[in-house]
Amino acid sequence: MASKIGKILVVDDNQGIRRALEILLPLHFAEVKTIPSPSTLVSTLEQFRPDVVLLDMNFYTSTNTGNEGLYWAGELKKMAPEVEVVLFTAYADIALAVEGMKRGAFDFIVKPWDNDKLIEVLTAARDKARKALRRDSRSESAMTGKDISGTTVDLMFWGTSPAMKSIGKTLDKIAPTDATVLITGENGTGKDVLAREIHAHSLRSAKPMVAVDAGAITETLFESELFGHVKGAFTDAHADHIGKFEQADGGTLFLDEIGNIPLHLQAKLLRAIQSRSVVRVGGSEAIPVNIRLICATNMDLEALVRDGRFREDLYYRINTVHIALPPLRERKEDIIPLATLFMDRFAQKYHRPLKGMSDDAADALKEYRWSGNIRELQNCIEKAVIFSDGTVLTEKDLQMERSGKPAGTTIRAVSESEEERLIRDAMERTGGNISAAAKMLGISRPTLYAKLKKYGL
């Protein structure tokens, strides 16, 4: 049986047909909605957001020309070009079918229908719509860094490098599956962002993705955090606690920095992954969990296995699909597009009138090694935007040396009056957040405290 994914909207005035499809289609689609006429089609389309519309071509018993269906097929493709339209008619008119295809319909089904043929056409339409949506969302995230609600977020920047194009194709293949994924790469390459991208395009996207920094959990709390505990299991266990595995039930569990988990705790993790169940600390009941597992690390796990510091059986269990994210220095063609994306984002955030960057600034960015990868580039551009003047981001704003080493902290290279202005500006723009302001200024919190006291701020 086909996977139960996607949404389908049925528009048909025959109540018997709607009832029959309300029984058949939920076996193959995650959500099914039926309406009797196109009168509410626009509002339903906006609220329900289907992948496929199965559209009747005649809505009045006295009319069988199919003109209504053709009209609404055209309107649907104008309103939502990403939605696939399958036409539904009792009149096997080839000319009508051809006209419908010209207006953008995916296919044409004749009543009375064959169930197998109907499902074959509808699921093919659904798969085409979802594949196009994944492709378009990657393109949109690369250009704007916004999610579908318009909120600025850290989304995967795919760029034009061959390595990233290859990873994009891999994502298309693995995202709809439940395959366990291991993401490797240097710090700042976007491993957590890629994990979110896989989850967002998976069949579990409506369920939560729970992220865990596995290397940051203390050994004493490891089991409690991941598997949960029952009331009274230890001194501070005043109530039952649901662990990360249970929180991710039905969705995705992302274990970041998995290479930092101590060897003796790896066996407990392996047991939970293999059995897809957990036993809370202090409890005895095995609780089943339905998760998709994604792991990430900046460490060489194969070397750790050879050194006896990482279990070989755990390594193979988490490594069904391996994706290696390249460092930024190996995808130099993406540096300027990424920098421009960050510049536009931060110019809007900090109300700077920047419209572009100078050639010298672009050359400096391309020559720098970026050992911190995309994260370092983002921080560099954010600080440069804050200190910029005018409409063009310059090499001076970047405060970088062509040698590939960062220049001295910007705030130390200005006069006291300018320093006070920069500090005031940073404090205003961060709403008085000391940590955020210190980060923008490139100084430590204690240094910022001292300067605030110095200038009476």
133 three-class SS: helix
**Contact yes or no for 199/209 (Cβ under 8 A):** yes
Tens digits of residue pLDDT in 298-341: 999 999 999 999 999 999 999 999 999 999 999 999 999 999 98
Q: Domain ranges in the chain?
A: 7-133, 162-326, 329-454
The CATH fold assigned to 329-454 is Helicase, Ruva Protein; domain 3 (1.10.8)
Tell me, what's the pLDDT at 94? 61
Cα→Cα distances 119→27, 45, 173, 298, Å: 10, 21, 22, 44
Around Cβ 433, how many Cβ atoms within 10 Å? 13
Q: What pairing do the DSSP bridges indicate for beta strands 286-288 and 277-279?
A: antiparallel
Q: Say whether pLDDT at 270 is over 50.
A: yes
Evaluate the CA torsion angle 27, 29, 33, 35 in order and state its sign: negative
**Contact yes or no for 100/81 (Cβ under 8 A):** no
11 three-class SS: strand
Residue 394 identity: T
Fold equal for 7-133 and 162-326:
yes
Superfamily for 162-326? P-loop containing nucleotide triphosphate hydrolases (3.40.50.300)
Integer Cα distance of 109 and 114 in angstroms: 9
What class, spelled out in words, does domain 7-133 have in CATH? Answer: alpha beta
Q: Flag the least confident range among 5-9, 58-62, 170-174, 194-198.
A: 58-62
Integer Cα distance of 208 and 94 in angstroms: 46
Evaluate the CA torsion angle 175, 178, 182, 188 in order and state its sign: positive
Q: Say whether pLDDT at 203 is over 60.
A: yes
Cα→Cα distances 330→236, 325, 432, Å: 49, 10, 38
Whole-prediction pTM value? 0.59
Q: Say whether pLDDT at 400 is over 60.
A: yes
Confidence of residue 139 (pLDDT cuts 50, 70, 90): very low
Q: Say whether pLDDT at 202 is over 80.
A: yes
Q: Flag the least confident range among 27-31, 124-128, 225-229, 413-417.
A: 413-417
Confidence of residue 405 (pLDDT cuts 50, 70, 90): very low
Tell me, what's the pLDDT at 91? 62
Helix axes 416-429, 373-387, angle to 10 degrees: 120
